[in-house]
Amino acid sequence: MARARDFTIDLHVHSVFSGESLAEPKDIIEAALQKGLDAICITEHDSLSVSLPFDEISKRYPLKVFRGVEISTDAGHMLVYGVTDADWNDWGKSGSVHAQELISKVRSLGGVVVPAHPYVMESCGLCDANPRVHVDERIRGLSGLKALEICNGKTAKYPLVCGVLSQYARSLGLAGTGGSDAHIPENVGSSYTVFKTPIHTVQALAAAIQSGHFYPRVS
Ligand SMILES: [Zn+2]
Ligand SMILES: [Zn+2]
């Protein structure tokens, strides 16, 4: 995996609290430790508070567990990092969130928004082994972004996705994150982000993402 002084975080993980995964917190944490990750960030759909039990459970393990949220917007799914339960108060849980409004809201709270899996893969029958990939048009024109999720574990078998998104991110001067989007423990760490220094708080995580000093990996 990464060099000893690097700090690796799977920035996109779902658990049983998402309502669409059977992954128990302890199994996710143990899988992350087994993969050699330093931290994970739980990003359940549309609710930050639903993953609160992780705060207590993770105390028993030598793994840092952050909590963020994945919000459904008019420009696709957006990962939110660096906000706290009291400030966030499950804003946006009721749906119909405007992406630009989300970016402003999160920025005012000191956090950062990262578009999740912002690509479209053309399905074309027999050529599915070598599909066409495009940047999701809905994220073009959004202002205030610092990074995109360019490697998502679900597309690990399509290196082209990472390539297309990373080229797009570079053209805009944006950094690229990696996250597994795991819904089962076995997939935790299938993609992750390598930071240069240890990170201990969600505020520091947001600052680190804003700094752009990291890169994605696929394992
Ligand atoms: Zn998503
Ligand atoms: Zn997700």
Check which CATH number belongs to the domain holding 87 and give it.
3.20.20.140
Q: Which two tokens mark 205? A: 């995580």
Q: Which ligand is nearest to the CA of 153?
A: 2
- Residues around the ion ligand 2 (C-beta < 5 A): 70, 181
Residue 187 lies in a domain: yes
Range of the domain at 116: 7-218
Residue 55 lies in a domain: yes
Provide the number of structural domains found in the chain. Answer: 1
Task: Classify residue 2: in a domain, yes or no.
Answer: no
Cα 15 from Cα 204, distance rounded (Å): 23
pLDDT single digits (tens) 125-179:
666 667 789 999 999 999 999 999 999 999 877 888 999 999 999 999 999 999 9
Give strand ranges (E) for the chain: 7-13, 39-45, 64-73, 76-81, 112-115, 119-122, 132-135, 147-152, 175-179, 191-195, 214-218
* Gap from CA of 153 to ligand 2 centroid (Å): 10
Look at residue 1 and tell me whether its pLDDT is greater than 70: no
List the structure tokens of 29: 């944490």
Question: pLDDT digits over 97-131, tens only?
Answer: 999 999 999 999 999 999 999 999 887 666 666 77
10 phi and psi angles, rounded to 5 deg: -85, 110
Report the percent of the chain where pLDDT is more than 90: 84
Q: Is residue 1 part of a domain?
A: no
Ligand nearest to the CA of 20: 2
For residue 127, the model assigns a pLDDT of: 60
Q: ∠ CA 59-65-67 to the nearest 5 degrees? A: 120
Residue 137 lies in a domain: yes
- Residue 85 near residue 48, CB atoms below 8 Å: yes
Q: pLDDT (tens digit, 9 = 90+) per residue, 176-203?
A: 999 999 999 999 999 999 999 999 999 9
Ligand 1 centroid – CA 25 distance (Å): 19
Report CA(191)–ligand 2 centroid distance (Å).
12
Question: What is the predicted pLDDT for the residue at 5?
Answer: 77
Closest ligand to the CA of 78: 1
Mean pLDDT value of segment 40-55: 97
Taking the alpha carbons at both ends of the chain, their separation in whole angstroms is: 8
Q: Are 49 and 90 in contact (CB under 8 A)?
A: yes
Paired strand residues for 67: 42
For residue 126, report the distance from its CA to the centre of ligand 2, in Å. Answer: 28
C-alpha of 95 from chain center: 19
Instruction: Output the CA 125–ligand 1 centroid distance in Å.
Output: 24
Beta carbons of 193 and 214 less than 8 angstroms apart: yes
Q: Would you say residue 148 lies in a domain?
A: yes
- Say what the pTM is: 0.95
